[in-house]
Structure 1
Amino acid sequence: MGCNWYNLEPACLKETYVGLINSVIFNDKWFKVAVCFIAFNPIFWNVVARLEYRTHVLTKLAGGARSGCYLLALTIFSLGIARDLSFEWAMRAQPTSPVLDSELIRNLGRLCIGAGQVLVLTSMYQLGITGTYLGDYFGILMDNIVTAFPFNVSNNPMYHGSTLSFLGYSLLQGKPAGLVITLFVHTMYSIALKFEEPFTAAIYAQRDAQRAKKD
């Protein structure tokens, strides 16, 4: 039997993984563009959101906190569309691996896409536009922590759902390059969370402390 992804012998696993990596065209223009968008987007929204928190620049520009948040939401959404399009175009130029060419892999890809979209859409439903797009940096805070689905299965369903969608599309298309990009997506989101979670927690802790003083 030849080496396949489901053959767990160390030598076969190494041969399979090396083969997948070697098939990736790292110098492709759209591959580079997709990677740049994936790196840039979370850096952008973290920098801009913190700038808003400290200077209220978007609130002043848009004429109000809610309008400023909507402006940021539109910008982030547009950058996300550009990222997704560049990823799709990058995948068109990348080779399909015979290792990933099976109905089982394609079905796994469909499952990942479905699960990812459920996490993203239900997260947006629970949080609304301002909750999804960093409204807390604008002083638009939620009354209580959301614990209903999907937050009872994931602390960060937007990020996890997006990562699953990238993974699912890559498996469905049988593209090793997509798996590399998916790993990079996961890495960038993990880095972003190290900045976002403590800062957001501090915002709500400050709000709770102010409420306690009034009581």
Structure 2
Amino acid sequence: MENIMPFVKSLDGLVDFSQKSLLISACAIAFNPLFWNIVARREYRTKFLTRLFGGHAQAACYALAFTIFSLGLLRDFLYERALRHQPSHPLLEGDLATMAGYALLACGNILVISSTWQLGITGTFLGDYFGILMDSMVTGFPFNITNAPMYYGSTMSFLGTALLYGKPAGILVTAEVLVVYLIAIQFENPFTAGIYAKRERERAAAGGKKKVEGKKEL
């Protein structure tokens, strides 16, 4: 805590930490990935959502997708509201900052939309945890640029919005977004890889069983 206080004091005048809207926005940003990881892992282990939807895994996945998407809209609304209550800075109000903001928003949305297009709804919104697995790994754009285009695209959009509003607080919140997503990646990627590795083991075991049965028939 003692190491953090000098940093906070250095932001005095740039960021108004007394505004509750900033804290609410920061909490929403941290909550969303925590929520979908907890829910998705519980679904994977217990199938509680699938059972809730009468055994229809795809319907359950779509319901979670709608929830995650709605929480994302709420998070974005809270972020923009928080920025309105924060002080601006002259260096972020020039034409260069505005152009950079629009460029970041454009690039960020391209990454998010193209990754959703490549993966589909179930691929984007944790269908793997529902047993809805893709046939093969997606390697085309934007996954040939980064393995987490949705997360990095979203981070770019947060930064672009901060520049358009001219708010240093937005840059600070964007840093939180990046940290939260980097942590999420560390938990999600190995878990998802384990799901697909399990499928490959099951396929290999099934293939071996068929070979044995074929030999017995001969």
> TM-score, structure 1 length as denominator?
0.89
Superposed, 1:1-215 pairs within 5 Å as: 22-63=13-54, 64-215=56-207
Aligned equivalents of 2:205 and 2:193: distance in 1?
18
Aligned equivalents of 1:21 and 1:136: distance in 2?
45
Query: Greater CA deviation, 182-191 or 26-35?
Result: 26-35
Aligned equivalents of 2:141 and 2:12: distance in 1?
36
Residue identity matched to 1:105: A
Aligned length: 199
Shift of 1:20: 5.4
Any idea what the Cα deviations from partners look like across 1:53-74, whole Å, max 9, x if unmatched? 0000000112211011011101
Any idea what the Cα deviations from partners look like across 1:113-153, whole Å, max 9, x if unmatched? 00000000001000011000000000000000000101011
Larger Rg: 2
Identity of aligned residues (%): 55
Shift of 1:21: 5.6
Aligned equivalents of 2:53 and 2:15: distance in 1?
44
CA contact (8 A) 1:163 1:186 kept: yes
Q: Segments of 4+ in structure 1 off by > 6 A?
A: none
Aligned equivalents of 1:158 and 1:21: distance in 2?
32
Aligned equivalents of 2:58 and 2:92: distance in 1?
46
Any idea what the Cα deviations from partners look like across 1:90-128, whole Å, max 9, x if unmatched? 011111101212111111111100000000000100001
Secondary structure of 1:183's counterpart equals helix
Runs of 5+ unmatched residues, structure 1: 1-16
Shift in alpha-carbon separation, 1:153–1:18, aligned structure 2, 3 A: farther
Aligned equivalents of 2:100 and 2:10: distance in 1?
21
Residue identity matched to 2:25: A
Secondary structure of 1:172's counterpart equals helix
Aligned equivalents of 2:13 and 2:203: distance in 1?
57
